[in-house]
Amino acid sequence: MTYEEFADSRLGALLRYAVMLTGDEHTAQDLVQETMVRVQLNWRRVARSDSPDGYVRKMLTNQFIDLRRGSWLKRVLLRAEPAPVRAVPGDHADETAERDRVWSMLAGLPRQQRAALVLRYYEDLPDGDIAEVLGCAVGTVRSSISRALAALRTELVEVR
């Protein structure tokens, strides 16, 4: 498989995954673009791996976790706060408000916990694959997911 074939077949899925991680389509596009540049530069290593898709997903996840590292200016400018909730006229206002509330709750989680949740519930990966993507032990994955869900439950109870 060539880089071009890989990019054509997996770009949409990688973008959806990045949107779930970042909560913002524009940041997700930047994240995928930066990751795919790195994939192209290291294509031989990626292609030789047992699972090129998993390798690239791991690269994307690491890029996401490292997104805020760097200068204080980047941390201030790249703050991952969701857009303010706007009242949408029509029947979908409640659904939109609920979706925005979930996004804001997810944005409040540490990046590794959020990545673990997205890999488990959006990508539907088992603990072993999540551990491989995040570069940690299976027990750490389970702990991260448990802590993230506990934090979401606590915040949900406080809101209601």
Distance CA 7, CA 2 (A): 9
Distance CA 142, CA 117 (A): 10
Mean pLDDT of 22-50: 92
CATH of the domain spanning 3-67+93-158: 1.20.140.160
Mean pLDDT of 44-57: 92
Query: Count of CB atoms within 10 A of residue 137's CB?
Result: 11
Instruction: Decide if 23 contacts 33 (C-beta within 8 A).
Output: no
Mean pLDDT of 14-26: 90
Instruction: Decide if 113 contacts 141 (C-beta within 8 A).
Output: no
Mean pLDDT of 7-18: 93
pTM given for the model: 0.62
> For all residues of the chain together, what is the average pLDDT?
84
| Domain locations along the chain | 3-67+93-158
